[in-house]
Amino acid sequence: MNRQAINTASVAETGPAMGALHQKCSRTSAAASNPPISPLCKGGLRGVGHSPATARHDPSRAPQLPRKAPSALGPDVHGQALQGVARAHYRRLVMRRMAVILILLAALALLAFSALCTGAASFGWREALHALLAGPERGQGHTAELPRMVVWQLRMPRICMGILGGAALGISGAVIQGILRNPLASPFTLGIASASGFGAALAIVLGVGIVGWGHWLIVANAFLFALVPAAVVFLLSRWKGMSKETMILAGVATMYLFSALTSMLQYVGNTEQVHSVVFWMMGSLERATWLRTGVVAAVVAVTLPFMYALSWDLNAMGSGDEAARSLGVSVIRVRTMGMFLASLATAGLVCFAGTIGFVCLVAPHIARMLVGVDHRFHMPAALLTGAVLLVAADLAARTAFYPHVLPIGIMTSCVGVPFFFYLVIRHRKEIWQK
């Protein structure tokens, strides 16, 4: 049998099998190109009046998903419009806060000039303005010398001490409340006032001090002992952890300790010494001189820029310690720096003026209600608010019971206690969320 015959016979034998294989491959290819439709799609097809087979062989008739109409402004223009609205809102918010700060500054200037014109010496605002513009040099004759002497030697040091001291207390209170996240916190919460009072009482009653002599012994003792609570709180916090709860508890314990020691010194002292201690602890600006005002100004000038530099970190810590750490903020470093800076600024005033309470507690709350919780604006507002409160309290202390002059600590407490109750009753936590 030749080769052609063999091939013909092979094809005849294998024809049916090859045909079946060809049909199977055709069905597999058709199934791959036209997969089965899910029941959901079948229901949709029946709903529009087409069978699954028709839809499988005519894909153009398959149902289409609804599409959003393209925006007339385009996808990017809509986002840019939203960003523009947000920027405009932020600019209005910043301008409003800046306006509040400028109003506080104008109120402070007006109040300071009113305090300059008010007092036992009888001359009006024109004479006071003329003496202020003429400078501290002595004039010719008694009529020209008296207003200058009263303005530049008696009233100006007192007003400047009130402005600087109120600014130090206001911004220190804002920093302490920021690092502790506690609306009741203040530099006095850490025991600064009680420690400073013990240092002054130690010098008055026993004549014991670290440096200085005479009245400067009292000043040096009050200043150095005012820094002791900060050191104690720092050491205890380093031992147990620099948490806000540890700082508050350590400060309260230190406050009670120094208060007990001061009471013991008052018990062993004589009548004159006890009177001097009590008067010093009530607080007053009568001891203000240009030299002491210059010392307070130097302390404020050194501490103020560093405290304001913590504003961004305090904003981050407002969301919690963990959130601040996730943003790269060293919470322990910020708490340590804030505590020491606030203690130093407060000690610079307390050593000269004595204990002046409630300004460092009330001023940050007033500023927070005016400009919000952003420390970039809150700290300057608290600074100015503290200065306004202290100058106003001193003016009220000089004029409320004229010719008697009340200690300024009494006036600040009389104003601070009602406002404190107002905060507790009306606002509670809302002012922390603005």
Kind and range of the H or E run holding 39: helix 39-47
What is the pLDDT, as a whole number, of residue 241? Answer: 65
What's domain 96-433's superfamily in CATH? Answer: ABC transporter involved in vitamin B12 uptake, BtuC (1.10.3470.10)
- pTM summary value: 0.76
Question: Would you place residue 188 in the very low, low, confident or very high pLDDT band (cuts 50, 70, 90)?
Answer: confident
Q: Which long-range contacts (CB under 8 A, 24 or more apart) does 412-415 make?
A: 412/283, 412/356, 412/357, 412/358, 412/359, 413/357, 413/358, 415/358, 415/362, 415/389
What is the pLDDT, as a whole number, of residue 56? Answer: 45
Tokens encoding 222: 């009050």
Question: Would you place residue 18 in the very low, low, confident or very high pLDDT band (cuts 50, 70, 90)?
Answer: very low
302-332 confidence digits (pLDDT tens) = 999 999 999 999 999 888 888 888 888 888 8
What is the pLDDT, as a whole number, of residue 398? Answer: 86
Q: Taking 80 as the threshold, does the pLDDT of residue 223 lie above it?
A: yes
Average pLDDT of the residues in 271-279: 87
What is the pLDDT, as a whole number, of residue 64? Answer: 53
What is the pLDDT, as a whole number, of residue 78? Answer: 67
Tell which residue, 163, 199, 168, has the closest CA to residue 343: 168
Pick the more confident residue, 54 or 264.
Answer: 264
230-268 confidence digits (pLDDT tens) = 888 778 767 766 677 777 888 888 888 999 999 999 888
What is the pLDDT, as a whole number, of residue 428? Answer: 53
What is the pLDDT, as a whole number, of residue 122? Answer: 66
- Contact criterion met (CB below 8 Å) for 309 and 171: no
Highest mean pLDDT among 6-10, 180-184, 233-237, 339-343: 339-343
291-305 confidence digits (pLDDT tens) = 999 999 999 999 999
